[in-house]
Amino acid sequence: MQGDEEREGGPRAPGHVPVMLDRILALLGPALSGPSDEDAFLIDATLGLGGHASAILAAHPRARLIGLDRDTTALERSGRRLEPYADRVSLVHAVYDEIPQVLDDLRIPRVDAVLFDLGVSSPQLDEAERGFAYSYDAPLDMRMDRTQALTAEEVVNTYSVADLTRILRDYGEERYARRVAEAIVRERGRAPLTSTSRLVDVVRDAIPAASRRTGGHPGKRTFQALRMEVNGELAALERAVPAALDALAVGGRIAVLAYHSLEDRIVKRAFAERVTDTTPHGLPVPLPELQPRFRLLTRGAEQPSEKETTTNPRAASARFRAAERIREREGRPRGIGGMPRGEDPPSGRSEAGGTA
């Protein structure tokens, strides 16, 4: 999947190009190819077109995929792509915070790997009628799951100035959130806002001319904020990452691609809580039950290589983090002496700020 709307008007990469595929294969590989002859279960929590999933299934003959997506169109398309592996694939129409329920329904107690590729997918951006892109005139929809009721049209035509300001500020990081919100409310008083092009005009006119000359398309932050609100993305992610961590068996690994600072912050915080020794200061020895249950596999948030962003511009804002479960809750370490198997030295470019 892809990130912020600012790239939807940029150059198109040919076809569907999975972001940071080699790095994901390298970091999830050890969890899917251990010495056991048993099947290894992978959750792709944001299946999309199945680019990452198909590569993982091809590389690991024992891997069994549980593919989740809230977009029924994506499930149909990925199902066709994954047909060669049909006997190892279970596709589920679900949001990623439903991982516990999905595993209960499938009677799978633990999994070996989880992958999140957050944001909006390329097909969703490229299909004008979905309303995600500000470069096409389309209905104000923006639903990833077209079976849900809430649309962007309902948000812009019914939310108060205060609520519109909040989502534009918090989700879109829009400097002129209040001005844009007030402009939307004024315009809808003349006639309901129903199209992306009319919304773009309203937003453009609300932003000072000097600011419109820099920072990309003036509608990018508003469209991003509306998409996140319509789909409840951040709230779902706050529930989903801890649920995914809990679902991992010892030795299991999680990999997350985020495309927005708020998404990455949620992932960073969830990982940090699990890799920290919470033994109270002053005790002579660490308490086993308060030892870290996970270890980080990346140093901070890795970014795609310059070569990758040149060939796939939509990957430019990706931030990648990964972690591995090394203990159960009781503090029992994995392996002899608690040493994790197969150390993977962090690689790739890392953003400023060091480890999570």
> For the chain, what percent of residues have pLDDT higher than 90?
70
Query: Residue 79's pLDDT band (boundaries 50, 70, 90)?
Result: very high
Q: What pLDDT does residue 123 have?
A: 65
Mean pLDDT computed over 266-284 = 90
Query: Residue 1's pLDDT band (boundaries 50, 70, 90)?
Result: low
May I ask the CATH architecture of the domain 5-122+233-350? 3-Layer(aba) Sandwich (3.40)
Residue 351: what residue type?
E
Segment 338-348, tens digit of pLDDT: 334 444 434 43
Segment 159-185, tens digit of pLDDT: 999 999 999 999 999 999 999 999 999
Domain residue ranges of the chain, discontinuous segments joined by +: 5-122+233-350, 130-231
Q: What pLDDT does residue 344 have?
A: 45
Per-chain mean pLDDT for the chain: 87
Helices (H) and strands (E) in the chain, counts: 14, 9
Q: For residue 293, is pLDDT > 70? A: yes
Task: Name residues whose C-beta falls within 8 Å of residue 274's C-beta, 6 or more positions apart in sequence.
Answer: 245, 292, 293, 294, 323
Residue 315: what residue type?
A
Q: What pLDDT does residue 13 have?
A: 36
Q: What pLDDT does residue 346 have?
A: 43
Angle at 330 between CA 327 and CA 335, to 5 degrees: 35
pTM, rounded to two decimals = 0.84
Segment 193-229, tens digit of pLDDT: 999 999 999 999 999 988 887 767 888 999 999 999 9
Q: What pLDDT does residue 239 have?
A: 98
Rounded-to-integer distance, Cα 109 and Cα 94, Å: 18
Mean pLDDT computed over 89-115 = 97
Q: For residue 116, is pLDDT > 90? A: yes
Q: Higher-confidence residue: 295 or 123?
A: 295
Of 27-31, 119-123, 277-281, give the lowest mean pLDDT range: 119-123
CATH number belonging to the domain at 130-231, selected among 1.10.150.170, 3.30.450.20, 1.20.1090.10, 3.40.50.1980: 1.10.150.170
Between 233-247 and 220-231, two packed helices, what is the crossing angle to 10 degrees? 60
Say what the alpha-carbon torsion angle 291, 293, 299, 305 is, to the nearest 10 degrees.
Answer: 180
Rounded-to-integer distance, Cα 79 and Cα 67, Å: 9
Q: What pLDDT does residue 330 have?
A: 56
Q: What pLDDT does residue 122 have?
A: 65
Work out the widest C-alpha separation in the chain, in whole angstroms: 71
Q: Higher-confidence residue: 45 or 220?
A: 45
> Based on the number of CB atoms within 10 Å of its own CB, is 189 exposed (0-12), middle (13-18) or buried (19 or more)?
exposed
HEC sequence for 13-48: CCCCCCCCHHHHHHHHHHHHCCCCCCCEEEEECCCC
